[in-house]
Every structure is written in C-alpha cells, then in structure tokens.
Amino acid sequence: MANLVIVESPSKAATIKGYLGSNYKVVASKGHVRDLPKSKLGVDIENGFEAHYINIRGKGDLIKEIKKEAKNANKVFLATDPDREGEAISWHLATALGIPVDKTLRVTFNEITKTAVKSAIKEPRSIDMDLVNSQQARRILDRIVGYKLSPFLWKYVRSGLSAGRVQSVATRIIVEREEEIRAFVPVEYWTVDASLAAQGGQEFTVRFYGDAKGKVKLGCEADAMKVVNAVSNSDFSVKSVKKSKKKKLPAPPFTTSTMQQEAAKKLGFQSQRIMRIAQELYEGVNVGQENGGVQGLITYMRTDSQRVSAQAQEEAKAFIGEKYGDKYYPSSPRVYKAKAGTQDAHEAIRPARIDLEPARIKKYVTSDQFKLYKLIWERFIASQMESAVLSTVTADFECAGYIFRTSGYTVDFQGYMAVYEESEDDTHTTADEVSEQRNIRLPDVKEGQKVELVGTDPAKHFTEPPARYNDASLIKFLEEKGIGRPSTFATIITTIIARNYVKREGKSLVPTPTGELTNKLMEESFPDVVDYAFTARMEQRLDDIEKGGLPMNTVLDDFWKGFSAELDKANEKMENEELEVPVEETDIICDKCGSKMIVKNGRFGKFAACPNYPTCRNTKPLTKPREDGAEGESEEKKAVIADFKCEKCGSDMVQRTGRFGTFFACSRYPECSFTKQRTKEIGVPCPKCGSKIVVKTGRNRTVFYSCDRYPECDFSSWDLPTNEKCPDCGEMLFRKKGQAVLVCRKTGCGFKKPIEGSEE
C-alpha cells in the first residue's frame, strides 16, 4: 500500500508529489478541516475553556475522501505548514481521520525542495501539543473577545459591527495617529542656501547651520534676511573639512515583517498581496525543465528569524565568489543577531536555490511573482556580501560669523550595494530638523581657502505633521510593540478595513467615523483589550505556552477574570448613557425633500440615502456631480454606468465591488435589488456541454472560468481551458493557474507539458 502525505494546499501537493514518486500519494486538506462553530461561542468557559470543534461546513466530502485514503495507506504523514497554525491543522486532521495523536507521523520542511522533503519524510515526529495549545489559546482568546464584545457594539454603536483582540489595538494605533495629525500645529522655519564657486569655477551649494556657538534655528523671514544681508557682500572661507572612510553593512535577510515592509515600499504591494505571492513562491512554481520543473522558490515565509543555514551560507559564498569575485565576500560568513523574543524555528526568508537567479525564471512566473522573488533573492545575496566602503566628507564654511555646512559621500567599494540597497523610511520635518545640505559633490577644498559667493536663496518652510500609517509603517509599529505575530499582520490590516473601522486613501490607512467612535468606546470600557503593553504581554504568554513553560488554561483563566469584570462594568455604565453615532454626510442634495444625503452601507457597498428615512426613501449612487453635469467621481473611484438597463425597473446599472469582485447593480438600490455580472468570453467551448466558457471573479477577486449556462451546466475551473487537445487521450488541456504549463485533468492520464517561451 502507498503512503499518504497530507498537506494544506493543492499546489503544494502537486510540487511534493513530483519529489516523492509512485509509492506516495499526496492530498490537500485545503486549510483547516475543523473549527469552532460560527453560530455560537463554542467554548465552555465554566469547564476549563473546553473548545467544541466541528467539521467545517463544505469539508465533509473532503474529510470522507481523505479518511478513506488514510485507512488504505501504509503510513500517514501530516505535512502541513511548519508553524502553530500548521501544527493545529495536523492535530485537527488526526482527530477528524481517527488517527491516535501518538501514532501520527508529523513532518515539516522549511523549503519545498526535493532534498528537504525527502529528509523530512525520513525523520517524522509526533504532533507537538505545546504548539497546538498555543494556537488553541489564541483562537479561544480571539473567539471570547469577538463573541462577547460584538453584541456590546451592536447594542450601543451599530448592528453588524464586530470586535477583535488584536484588530482593536491596530484600530487604536491608526486613530491615535489621526488625532496627532489633527492636533498638529505647523511651525514656520526658514533655510538659507548659498551657492559658492571654488577655484576653477565649480559651483556647489551649502546651507546655513549656525554660528560659532552652535546650531541656530531661523524662525521667521527677519532671521533669514539678517543672515542673507550679512553674507551678501562678504567672502566665504573653508573653516573645516572632515574626511573619513566608513563601512556600510548590508541589511539582514528578510523576516516576514521586513519582507512586507520592503515590498510595500519598493513594489507598492499591500500586505495581503505580498503574503499571497510569497505563499505561491513557497509552494512551488513550474520554472521550466531546464531549471528542474516545479520548484519551491523560497523558504517558509512566516518567520521572525534572521538565521541562515550553514548550507545556504556555503552556497551563497560560492555564488558570490564566482559571480562578483572573492573580494565581495567577507572574511567569515555573516551571522545576524536575533532580536529578543524571536522564534527561531525557521530560517530567514531566502531563495531555496541560490543558482536560480531572477532572470532565469522570469518567463515562467507571473509579474508579481517575479518582482517579489527578485526582491527576496537580491536581499539574501546582499546580506551575505562584504560591506560597502564609503568616503564621507563634511565641510563647514564661514562668512560674517555664520557657519554654512554641506556633506556628502562617494562609494569607494560597492560591496553588497552591487546587488541591493535597502529603502529608507519616510521622514517628515520637525522644527528641530533643519539639516545641512547632503550628498553634494564637492570640489577639492582645503581649510582656510577662500570661495566666491554666487548667490543666496532664502526659503520659507513649515514643519509637517506625522505621516499617516501605511501597510509598511503600521507593520513596523506592530512589530516594535510586540503586537500580533508577523504571520498575522496582513490579516489584521485586511480585517480592520473589512469592518469599516479603517479605509484606504491612496496608500494611507485612515480611520472612519465608526472606527473612531468604536475606539473611544473600547478605550473607555475595555482599556486592557486595546492596551499596547497588555496585548504584547499576551503574545509573550502565547509564546510561553508554545515553549511548554505555561499551561494554556492558566493564560485563558487569567484573561477571562479581568475581561469579564470589564464587560460587566461596561454594560452597567452604558445602560445610563447614550452614544451619538456619527453619520457621514455627502454633498448630494436629496431631490425629493432637499436634505443633504448621507452615506449608508448596503449589501452591494456604499450608497447615498436620505437622512429622513423612512419618511423619505430616496437613494442614489454615491457620486459627486461635476461642474459639466456629467457623472462625477465616487468617494472611492469613478462610478461606471453600464451600457444596459436594469431588467426589473429599467433604471441605470452602476458598477459595484462586492465580496466576489466587480458586478453591476441597479442604481435604485435598495428599492430595486437587481444585479448582473458582466462576463467575457475566451473563445473556448465548455468541455461539458459545448456552450461558451466565460471569465468570472470569485472571492478575493480571484479569476476563474465557468460555463455561461451556469447553473444548468456546473462546469468551472481555476485553470484556463484551452483549445489544445491532450495527445494521449484527446481531452481538453488546461493552463495551470500561475504556471507556464499545460495539463490534462482526466483521471489517470497525467499528461503535462511546459509552455515554452511563455511570459506573464
């Protein structure tokens, strides 16, 4: 009998199957198979926080199928992801399949390569219940907070709201930054730049710094003009020139957090998109037969460790020596110090195969996959290289008792900078941060030398408020404060936006009125839940459970005692208070009663509604009229009017975005709830009924292909149907999603071939 290997995702299963051969069958659980019920709390608080798990709806047939395979298998290997969540999935699988926990064969691998997978299969272990209990504790804590706080918010704020343990803290962070911005008072300051010319006529710029006593701030125009008038008819002389050599160290290889920050800054990707692409790179992509076929391209992408294996270091050393020369490799391998509290179970994020340079795989991967892989590959190679050597210079120039300064550098030896440079954080100027001119190319000047004044340029500035958080800066703040885990950062941001506590404005995260009101209520009634230090301590306690140093029930019991007391006190207090729930006004005037319309949320997104409902039931698409009378811009994006009318009432159809992507809804919603999805044909007949295949959008805006006769014909596919036929059996060939490969999906056939020269 064959051995059974159970993983989480189908793409990962396909990759691993190619490594293990015919004696192994690899199946996918498609994530969790058991969870707490949605309809009730599912945790017996009075009896030791016993969790009542049930099989997830829709997973029954899958569980039955895997159970049958497990019964017929010689051995069952549970190969879910190598973290708390993956350990819990393995535990749930063992329970659902009826396999005793002490007889399960748990295997993990940090990278999905042939060597790593085969080595893991040779050394299975039992399920780590400390890891499982750590995940269970987090799940139960989040369930208690969500299911106990949500009814409180429904009662006193608005129905449909929900609360979360870490998400509430993230909302508070964004609200507090917005309050800082509102309270910010700009401070006027001035700079004075002087253009100087050295012997030979080379011009360069210096900036006013101060006087002989030190730095001086120019707070108004009079201060600036005093300096300008003093130096206008005087000679400048070189007061001092300080030159030095400086080594610049490379940045360490990526952790989950730093990968999300850097990809957000350099690639403009949102955190959820980054993690989805990283998952695809980890699970495996077909990179062509010349590169080994289906390969896991990076190591496990949920890690806060900067550790690199000795084997990877040796491979990097050989690659750097061959590609750039021995002088580009340091005298000994680089080791990066772990931060306090780091979980060191996994390596840093790095390429699984260093020889697979980004250019070699570009034609086989999507544009997004290529960009992120290139970033990871370059960051890792640079992290193992020799430091860059810079020649720095700072020069002070004196005139009429005032000091002007400039500084700059030149690169003497590129070192790691030949491959990669880390992006810098966004900075905003304060009144104390009027710095000298930097990175100016200076002529060769010496102390005491006279230089000629060409002109002066006084300029007025105002200090800027702190920047709003974006994905990168919020993730950095969460990590610094120890709030959440790197693997949860993307979910935190997605959740607070989905709950309408926060919205995106460009790349910035901005609190909504609902988010601000809810945060105010949470701070007043549940200070522990939204306290930074309390949330960080809870993360530490979850880590202690994982290490076996703390019982799960101790953590849950301690939390419940404090939380339940806060809940009772909050309910008692709110019984005698009324909250004024803010409404979001628009500039749209109701054409029936003349009132200013307000923003409402419906099944299909936001719309404008009359505030006098139910007396006036007028609604409109949420658009801002333009001066020319044409349809204007919506508050989030331009409203698109369809070229067809509502089939129920004849009104305009307006493009909307919902849970399953873009669709058209009647402009008279909610009075008329008719919707229609526009589809695009791909020129391929349905393999089931011969009708047309159309493109559709599913959850998270993912594209899939379906028969246009749905639901009469239920054919659908994530993979792209083609007009090519399988040479072995004559069935239709499909292009695998995200891969440059054609496959036959007929049971027992298994034909596949790469698409040569394909570039996404």
Q: Cis (ω within 30 of 0) for the bond into 614?
A: yes
CA angle, 521 then 523 then 526, to 5°: 90
For residue 708, give both structure tokens: 């246009």
What Rg, from alpha-carbon coordinates, does the chain have? 31
Report the C-alpha gap between 79 and 194 in whole angstroms. 66
For residue 346, give both structure tokens: 């996994």
With beta carbons less than 8 A apart as the criterion, state whether 208 and 404 touch: yes
For residue 565, what are the CA distances in angstroms to 150, 539, 558, 586? 16, 21, 12, 41
Conformation bin of residue 48: beta by default, left when phi > 0, alpha when psi is -120 to 50 = left
Q: What count of other Cβ atoms lies within 10 Å of the Cβ of residue 656?
A: 23
User: What residue type is assigned to position 664 of the chain?
Assistant: F
Contacts of 668 (CB under 8 A, 6+ apart): 619, 646, 649, 651
DSSP type of residue 740: S
- Which H or E run includes 215? strand 214-215
With beta carbons less than 8 A apart as the criterion, state whether 476 and 457 touch: no
With beta carbons less than 8 A apart as the criterion, state whether 462 and 190 touch: no
Q: Cis (ω within 30 of 0) for the bond into 670?
A: yes
Which of 19, 156, 300, 501 is labelled catalytic?
300
Choose among 272, 285, 283: nearest CA to 367: 285
With beta carbons less than 8 A apart as the criterion, state whether 218 and 189 touch: yes
Please, what sign has the CA dihedral across residues 375, 378, 381, 384? negative
DSSP string, 159-226: TT----HHHHHHHHHHHHHHHHHHH----EEEEEEEEEE-TTS-EEEEEEEEETTEE----SHHHHHH
For residue 525, give both structure tokens: 């009634």
Helices (H) and strands (E) in the chain, counts: 17, 35
Report the C-alpha gap between 58 and 60 in whole angstroms. 6
Count Cα neighbours of 533 within 13 Å in the Cβ-side half-sphere: 1
User: What residue type is assigned to position 391 of the chain?
Assistant: S
User: What residue type is assigned to position 119 of the chain?
Assistant: S
Beta strands in 8-154 (DSSP E): 24-28, 34-35, 43-44, 50-51, 54-55, 76-78, 105-106
Report the C-alpha gap between 412 and 272 in whole angstroms. 40
Q: Cis (ω within 30 of 0) for the bond into 458?
A: no
With beta carbons less than 8 A apart as the criterion, state whether 123 and 115 touch: no
Question: Is 300 noted as a catalytic residue in this protein?
Answer: yes
Report the C-alpha gap between 446 and 494 in whole angstroms. 57
Strand 76-78 relative to strand 3-7: parallel, antiparallel, unpaired?
Answer: parallel
Q: What count of other Cβ atoms lies within 10 Å of the Cβ of residue 464?
A: 14
For residue 618, what are the CA distances in angstroms to 341, 560, 614? 56, 47, 9
Beta strands in 337-424 (DSSP E): 388-399, 402-413
Report the C-alpha gap between 171 and 189 in whole angstroms. 34
For residue 287, give both structure tokens: 């990179």
Conformation bin of residue 30: beta by default, left when phi > 0, alpha when psi is -120 to 50 = left
Report the C-alpha gap between 212 and 707 in whole angstroms. 80
Q: What count of other Cβ atoms lies within 10 Å of the Cβ of residue 125?
A: 11
List, by residue number, the catalytic residues.
300
